[in-house]
Structure 1
Amino acid sequence: MQVSSPIVIGRAEELRLLDSALSGARAGCGGAVFMIADAGLGKSRLVQECITLATGSGMAVLRGRATQAGATVPYRPLTEALFSIVRSGAVPDDPELSPYRPALGRLIPEWRDALPYQSDDSPVVLAESVLRLLSVVGRGRGALICLSDLQDCDAETMSIVEYLVDNLADLPVVLLATVRSTPSPALTLAQSSARHRVARLLELTPLTDDQVAELTAACLGVEVPGLPPGVLPWLTQSADGNPFIVEELLRGGIDSGALARTGDGWRMVEGVPRDMPSTVASSVNDRARRLGPEWHNALQAAAIIGRRFPLDALRQVCGLGEDELHALVRAGSEAQLLAPSLSAPDWCTFRHAWTADALASGVLPAQRRMLAAAAANAVESLDPDLPGELCQLAARLRLATGDRAAAGVLYARAGRRALGEGAAASAEKLLDRALELLPADSHPDRRAEVLESLLYALTEAGDVERALRRGADLYGSVLLSPEQRAELLTRLAWVCVVGGHWEKAAEQVALARRLLTDSAAAGQLAPLDVVEAHLLTLAGSQGDDRAARAEELALRAVRTAEEVPLPTSACQGRQVLALLARRHSFDEADVHLRHMFATADAHGLPIWRLRAQIRLATNELMRTGEAEQIQLARQAALTLGAVTAAAQADATIAMQQVLYCEFEQAEALADRLLESTARMHQEGESQFCLVIKIAAQAHQGRREGMRAILAEFRRRGGEQSFHAPVVFGHRAICALLGEDRPGAEAEMARVREWERTHPTIYYQSGRYGLGVLLEVLADRAGEELLAETRAAHAAQLRWNLQFVLAAEAVLLGRTGQAVAAGAKLAEAQAAAAPFPMARHLVLRLVAEAALADRWGTPVDWLRAAEEYFHGSDVAALAGACRALLRKAGVRVMQRRSGNDAVPSQLAGKGVTAREYEVLMLLGERRANPEIAKLLFISPRTVEKHVASLMVKLDRADRKELSALVTALELS
């Protein structure tokens, strides 16, 4: 008989909190709730109640469960949860998900393309993809994702859960996770998340005696006063307030006849042991026996396989036919012992972990080993490849028979498969288990293979420290050949280079070099040469000797790698050669990048092809100031699902938007990037997002805003990063916009000092542009510096070129070559066309020198600069322009904002701020085309303003308006 309460007893406060969390998610304020309790206290019932509440309010519901089956299957709970929403057809075809679909294809097979997902994005990208999917699914209605039994889940799932917990606050999603109260990584996460106030805890306690009475009455369908005498003492003493055990005891009591229904209600029957079954184990076994000996034995065999088991394996072990197997599942389900698997129809699960444990406890040790061996044979016969969790299930069963070596081989196989699927943390766990089981004396070759795979898993998981320790073990190991150890050390060195661990990378390179003798094949040396070339290029102080050595190694590696072929090493080599070539010529760098693109394309390496495309587009953007190619590269990254690469392209675009003075767009894009990179703990990328925001503030002359972001940049270690010199360069621009020439010169000195002692990564920091102009204006440099700068290809980048040409104009004007100087400044202004702020800054800086040396049209330049900076609210620079104009003897109108700029006697006659500006220029005897140019309006508009002024001020012509201006200035 099925005995359960139709209502939830004793959990009103918990239900209130869950309802509040659901309401928050529907309002766009999501979060995480961890429900912690011992087994049987009602976690599953509360989850179901929460799902009912969510469904009733129209929310999307996703549900997944971890398993105690013993198999470390990456992402299983998430896969089940996403299946539940995909099957319902509730996932919208939203453009926001497009770049994340390839990554999500690892969890949703329906989203996998014909080609396998190929991306070197960090595992965090998958977590971000899940977050984006949940956000889209919950948009406008809210979403609930329930993940049960997280104490049993894999490390990869835990990393994504942690990511979700940290980032749900502003999304329409609530995560409900259940965790046992026994120690586990999930429990640690729940407790730490609660301490950091990013999650709430629901810690279920046993029911009180009164609540047990309510539960018992609800199960029996009576009121509390109608409960038979003796039933409550029996239940409160035996169940310890555990609702599951209360229901199990009631069911067992009814089945045994100790509790019977009569015409007058329920009564306890004398003579039948009231404490029977006194434990869940006896209750479970008693129910199984009532199904008959055959079904009882079959259920015990299933319990030996595990709480979750493949039906075909059980059929073979027990010799059941198909109809008998289905009858067993049906009978076990009716007895509330089994629950068919929704996500895998060929599998079945015991209703509760206690159920499987209770049935297995009745099997003698010898019979247990015999059943485990039969089950292992059956599992291995299902599919020779042992896909999915079958491999680990077979390993656990072999271990149960006492065959440690066979179990070790199977765990190693499962570990290598997990590594191939990108689940490095699970692979590490499985491979460690394999090493523990494989005897060192009788299986040296197998142990060597496992050690090799483990090292790859550690490096993929980013555990550089442990990988290095294992690397030291390998270095002294006799199990691997010197060539094998060198190959692994080379991989370790590359991981250290990518992670910025320069000294550790150098140590691994040195160890690998010692292992490879002079007779080593070129193909063995090429990957090591590539790593060392990157190390020489990126680490330590700058110097021609290091650069020359790096170039020599990279060229040697590329020649070998393209001949063997070793396409990945060839691409790595071309990448470092392109970086080195930029010192001399961006065109030469492009040659290497095109080779890199062709190699990647020919060998099916889409990520390396994309890297080449993005670098080519970036070079083109820096040369021409045109963003078309980088936009195309960004789209290619999104199409491929390379989220990290797309973000890098976005960062390049955002920085260029700053130079274009598209500040709002740049800061909005930088904010979006900062949000995602900070979530994904991509520190270098987050630093660069802050650089973009610093630049946006600097280029508007907003010192306080820039300083606030600089503080965050420093906190994140930015001033010790490669981004430092470009920040110094932008700070110099901010100083110039504040008329702080000494401050700007000091920042440019910092740029020069940094780049003297560090590798040059950025070429728009000012060293090849703005810094040269400032040195020439200060009369500290001349033709020698200009010649040196012009020799550098970086001086031809469009942003730098405007300043270099302006510096040449100043020198020409200083030597009396007025016509040539004017022509050169015209070239500078043409180069500066995409950069409005920089174009007008150059006019302000050069005009002062032109006034002193009497060349060009500095008054017009200052007029244009003053108008621009006044309109841009850069008061210091606008004021400096007005001061220079007055110094030049030019009448300057007083600048105020809006209608306050109009004198009261004119404002009273209806003169607008724009009309007043036109009037003041009429006082200088300016023609309409000149006024139009200075005010950035059309000549036709000037005519309209003049006509309006004549009517409002009762003047007959332009001459009388000009006279009025003189009278106003004298009054």
Structure 2
Amino acid sequence: MFEELAAAGLPSTRRAVLHAQFANAAHLAGDQARALEQITSARGLLGPDPAPAASAQIDVIGVYIELGRQNPGRLEAAAELAERAVKAAAQAGLPIVTCDALQLLGYLIRDRDEEQADRLYEEARQIAERNELPIFRIYSEVFLSRALCLRTGRTGELEEARDSALGIGALPLAYEAGYHLALQQLQRGDFKSGQRELDESLRTALRLRLGRVVPFLRLGQAIRPAHQGNRGQMEEALATLTAEDLSAPGIRPASYGLARAICSLLEEDLERANQEFAQAIALDLDNPTMIDFGKQGLMLLVGVLEGRNGWQHYVDVAGRSASKTRWNRQFAQFAHAVLLGRDGDVVGANAAAGEALEAAEIYPLGRHLALRLVIEAAFESGWGEPVVWAREAEDYFQANNIPAVASACRGMLRSMGAPVRQRRTGDEDVPPSLRKLGITVRELEVGRLLAQRIPNKGIAKRLHISPRTVEKHVANLLTKTGQHDRDAFASYAAKEFG
């Protein structure tokens, strides 16, 4: 076809735009190889000094194609194209292309400069209003309200923008906003509402074939049980992610950083959480994403506590806009407090901890997980209220059926010489079949870790008890269950100790 158009005398600029439109159609259909082939042909026809109108249209389409590639440099390449498209579209007087390019550029720079990103979104919104382009106006409103939601935790504006998107039929945009609202509900501990939002949205997205949002909604269904420490349900939800879902930028690193690693922390398995954080970062390095998967928040705090991250890393991360979202801020400020405490700046550490606690007010899991993580560092360096925090965290995790962390908090209270509330006076937490064997609550905790084939030293560290005490519990468990060694017990406990 293109050969016939050339023979008929159609100018090369017109043919270049047609190639770009074919590239866009191939991209939307998921044919990335064809999209790259067509956009390359389009650029080849433009020549060294292209007309601004054609250049802008081709570069905007090129941004979308670049973002769909598996390439470590794709974000930088896409940002360069978007910036070039903004200038060319404005020069050519193309309001639709200008709005599109401004919004793309805002999306691509928001991690490093959120204020500039918001200015770009606002500029696109004003252009859309002047030129009566409702779809682009609503896109800008969603982007602006999402940024406000992430920064402050406020959801009202994003809910209104989502409803506007639904009203004009911008369904992918509306359900992307719905995912962010559901994630806020999960982070606030409203698991029922968050799950309902995810379920309803996923059913609709599948029915309407809104393939762009399906991976995020499925990921959300794994994040919910992960934040409740329910590994079984989390793994079931992760198993629903298809190969196509996992190829979407950001899904794989987020499945490690937002789901698996948090679940591991709620099981007091720091070694496994660190491995999962490392996997998330490796995946992101291979194919960078704009999706927040914890790198600027929880990963920073854990890295500081483990000694991997020092002042330079903290300063680098704290300078990025992503570390200033309210969810990330609670962890980033506690990381700041730990570093200040190590330097002997107790006043500074207390101030940073105060900022962390202020950010954490609306996030019960985030608050108490952060407290559990920093208690020992605060006690050792003499800042904060480690005993008060340990009691508060123990109450929260006990009430929310996350026994491993509750037990760790009790262990830390003992190590700080503080009185510990006795939680094991009853045996209601022990399954009836094990209760008949005389298994105690503490033996249940040890048995569950034995089922994972964790050695005594690892069990002692997790439960904050001595290895000698663990040995006694192991001996009692083998006797009471009639198992002759640890391997036999592990196989037995995998079923019986749940």
Give the counterpart of 1:818 among 346, 349, 357. Answer: 346
Residue 778 (structure 1) shift: 0.7
**Aligned 8 A contact 2:75 2:288 in 1:** no
Give the counterpart of 2:215 among 687, 690, 693. Answer: 687
Q: Does residue 806 of structure 1 match 2:334?
A: yes
**Aligned 8 A contact 2:250 2:284 in 1:** no
Residue 742 (structure 1) shift: 0.9
**Aligned 8 A contact 1:728 1:748 in 2:** yes
Residue 533 (structure 1) shift: 3.2
Aligned counterparts of 1:890 and 1:632: Cα–Cα separation in 2 = 49
Which residues of 2 match residues 517-556 of structure 1 at below 5 A?
A: 517-518=47-48, 520-543=50-73, 549-556=77-84
Q: Deviations over 1:124-163 (max 9, x none)?
A: xxxxxxxxxxxxxxxxxxxxxxxxxxxxxxxxxxxxxxxx
What is the TM-score normalised by the length of structure 1? Answer: 0.42
Residue 683 (structure 1) shift: 2.8
Residue 757 (structure 1) shift: 2.0
SS of the residue 1:684 aligns to: coil
What residue is the counterpart of 1:573 in the other structure? 101
Aligned counterparts of 2:12 and 2:244: Cα–Cα separation in 1 = 41
Aligned counterparts of 2:25 and 2:133: Cα–Cα separation in 1 = 19
Give the counterpart of 1:863 among 385, 388, 391. Answer: 391
Aligned counterparts of 1:574 and 1:845: Cα–Cα separation in 2 = 41
Which residues of 2 match residues 921-960 of structure 1 at below 5 A?
A: none
Give the counterpart of 2:372 among 819, 831, 844. Answer: 844
Aligned counterparts of 2:101 and 2:23: Cα–Cα separation in 1 = 15
Q: Which has the higher strand share?
A: 1
Q: Does residue 736 of structure 1 match 2:269?
A: no
Structure 2 CA distance for partners of 1:727 and 1:630, relative to 1, 3 Å:
same
Q: Which has the higher contact order (CA 8 A, sep 6+)?
A: 2
Amino acid at match of 1:828: A
What residue is the counterpart of 1:664 in the other structure? 192
Q: Does residue 755 of structure 1 match 2:258?
A: no
**Aligned 8 A contact 2:397 2:405 in 1:** yes
Q: Does residue 792 of structure 1 match 2:326?
A: no
Residue 732 (structure 1) shift: 1.1
Structure 2 CA distance for partners of 1:608 and 1:703, relative to 1, 3 Å:
same
Residue 499 (structure 1) shift: 4.4
Amino acid at match of 1:496: A
Q: Deviations over 1:422-461 (max 9, x none)?
A: xxxxxxxxxxxxxxxxxxxxxxxxxxxxxxxxxxxxxxxx
Give the counterpart of 2:39 among 506, 509, 523. Answer: 509
Q: Does residue 589 of structure 1 match 2:117?
A: yes
What residue is the counterpart of 1:702 in the other structure? 230
Q: Does residue 607 of structure 1 match 2:100?
A: no
Residue 711 (structure 1) shift: 0.6
Q: Does residue 772 of structure 1 match 2:300?
A: yes
Structure 2 CA distance for partners of 1:654 and 1:553, relative to 1, 3 Å:
same
Structure 2 CA distance for partners of 1:816 and 1:830, relative to 1, 3 Å:
same
Residue 770 (structure 1) shift: 0.8
Which residues of 2 match residues 706-721 of structure 1 at below 5 A?
A: 706-714=234-242, 717-718=245-246, 721=249
What residue is the counterpart of 1:314 in the other structure? none
Residue 519 (structure 1) shift: 5.4
Size of the alignment, in residue pairs? 428
Which residues of 2 match residues 67-82 of structure 1 at below 5 A?
A: none
Aligned counterparts of 1:847 and 1:699: Cα–Cα separation in 2 = 20
Structure 1 unaligned residues grouped into runs of 5+: 1-469, 902-971
Which residues of 2 match residues 444-523 of structure 1 at below 5 A?
A: 478=8, 480-518=10-48, 520-523=50-53
Structure 2 CA distance for partners of 1:750 and 1:533, relative to 1, 3 Å:
same
What residue is the counterpart of 1:632 in the other structure? 160
Aligned counterparts of 1:565 and 1:717: Cα–Cα separation in 2 = 38
Amino acid at match of 1:531: I
Aligned counterparts of 2:186 and 2:173: Cα–Cα separation in 1 = 20
Q: Does residue 886 of structure 1 match 2:414?
A: yes
**Aligned 8 A contact 1:489 1:509 in 2:** yes
Structure 2 CA distance for partners of 1:715 and 1:494, relative to 1, 3 Å:
closer
Residue 716 (structure 1) shift: 5.3
Aligned counterparts of 1:581 and 1:897: Cα–Cα separation in 2 = 55
**Aligned 8 A contact 1:489 1:508 in 2:** yes
Aligned counterparts of 2:71 and 2:428: Cα–Cα separation in 1 = 57
Amino acid at match of 1:600: A
Structure 2 CA distance for partners of 1:611 and 1:720, relative to 1, 3 Å:
closer
**Aligned 8 A contact 1:751 1:766 in 2:** no
Amino acid at match of 2:215: Q
Structure 2 CA distance for partners of 1:517 and 1:785, relative to 1, 3 Å:
closer
Q: Deviations over 1:569-599 (max 9, x none)?
A: 1122112211222132111111111111122
Aligned counterparts of 1:548 and 1:889: Cα–Cα separation in 2 = 53
Residue 477 (structure 1) shift: 5.6
Amino acid at match of 2:373: L
Structure 2 CA distance for partners of 1:840 and 1:615, relative to 1, 3 Å:
same
Aligned counterparts of 1:643 and 1:897: Cα–Cα separation in 2 = 54
SS of the residue 2:361 aligns to: coil
Structure 2 CA distance for partners of 1:495 and 1:571, relative to 1, 3 Å:
farther
Residue 535 (structure 1) shift: 3.3
More moved, 885-894 vs 514-523: 514-523
Amino acid at match of 2:15: R
Superposition CA RMSD, Å: 2.3
Aligned counterparts of 1:892 and 1:728: Cα–Cα separation in 2 = 34
Residue 693 (structure 1) shift: 1.1
Residue 538 (structure 1) shift: 4.6
SS of the residue 1:894 aligns to: coil
Aligned counterparts of 1:614 and 1:562: Cα–Cα separation in 2 = 23
**Aligned 8 A contact 2:205 2:214 in 1:** yes
Residue 474 (structure 1) shift: 5.7
Aligned counterparts of 2:278 and 2:135: Cα–Cα separation in 1 = 39
Q: Deviations over 1:645-665 (max 9, x none)?
A: 322221211111111111100
Structure 2 CA distance for partners of 1:485 and 1:649, relative to 1, 3 Å:
same
Aligned counterparts of 1:896 and 1:614: Cα–Cα separation in 2 = 50
Which residues of 2 match residues 257-268 of structure 1 at below 5 A?
A: none
Structure 2 CA distance for partners of 1:816 and 1:557, relative to 1, 3 Å:
closer
What is the TM-score normalised by the length of structure 2? Answer: 0.80
Amino acid at match of 1:742: E
Structure 2 CA distance for partners of 1:550 and 1:602, relative to 1, 3 Å:
same
**Aligned 8 A contact 1:474 1:480 in 2:** no
Amino acid at match of 2:153: G
SS of the residue 1:809 aligns to: helix
What residue is the counterpart of 2:441 in the other structure? none
Query: Identity of paired residues, percent?
Result: 34
Residue 826 (structure 1) shift: 1.6
Amino acid at match of 1:842: A
Amino acid at match of 1:527: Q
Aligned counterparts of 1:571 and 1:648: Cα–Cα separation in 2 = 19
Structure 2 unaligned residues grouped into runs of 5+: 430-498
SS of the residue 1:524 aligns to: helix
Which residues of 2 match residues 239-388 of structure 1 at below 5 A?
A: none
Aligned counterparts of 1:477 and 1:786: Cα–Cα separation in 2 = 61
Residue 854 (structure 1) shift: 3.5
Largest Rg, 1 or 2: 1
Aligned counterparts of 1:845 and 1:561: Cα–Cα separation in 2 = 50
What residue is the counterpart of 2:363 in the other structure? 835
